[in-house]
Amino acid sequence: MLSDNLLAELNKQINLEFFSAQMYLAMGAYCKAENLDGFANFFIVQAEEERFHAMKIFNFINTMGKRATITGFESPRNEFKSILETFEAGYNHEQFVTRRFYDLMDIAIAEREHATIGFLKWFIDEQVEEEDLFDSLIQKLKRIDTDSNAFFMLDNELLTRVFTPPANE
């Protein structure tokens, strides 16, 4: 059973995931304004993935016989100095989200809430992938530096990114 504390923390996580989606949409809007459709697509797809994460937690709470609570949140950052800065901000945010999932796991373990432990394992594995993806793109952007051809090749590559929910969801 979900304790009141664990339920409250899972609800906070739902809202953080929705905030993450808004944050990535804002980054996508920045990229669109810079006429970088591939980078914009990357962040728009990332926003879809974050909404999926929020709904996955929402559905889990309901399955556990509890109620999800949706709250508001502050506006995300909308201005950036460069594409690299958007990815660095995204990477820092993903590291924050990872720490949040670790904290949730710690609570679930302390409370011996085995269903939640199993549920959270998926998110922790997902966060490893998220951080790796952002780090990889940051390293590419740093290597590209001022090579406009390579920059636009990466932009075109990111146009192909799509979000496909896992088959078992």
pLDDT over 80 at 122, yes or no: yes
* pLDDT given at position 147: 86
* pLDDT given at position 169: 65
Q: Which of 155, 145, 25, 23 is nearest to 94 (CA)?
A: 23
The first and second tokens of residue 63, run together, are 């399955």
Q: pLDDT tens-digit profile of 18-56?
A: 999 999 999 999 999 999 999 999 999 999 999 999 999
Q: Where are the domains of the chain?
A: 4-71+80-158
For 70-84, b where at least 16 C-beta lie within 10 A, e where not — what string? eeeeeebeeebeebb
Percent of the chain clearing pLDDT 90 (strictly above)? 93
**Whole-angstrom Cα distance, residue 101 to residue 165?**
20
Q: Which CATH architecture has domain 4-71+80-158?
A: Up-down Bundle (1.20)
Q: CB within 8 A of 53, min separation 6: which ones?
A: 17, 20, 123, 126
**Whole-angstrom Cα distance, residue 11 to residue 9?**
5
pLDDT over 90 at 167, yes or no: no
Is residue 155 within 8 A of residue 42, CB to CB? The reply is no
* pLDDT given at position 73: 86
Is residue 53 within 8 A of residue 104, CB to CB? The reply is no
Q: pLDDT tens-digit profile of 79-109?
A: 999 999 999 999 999 999 999 999 999 999 9
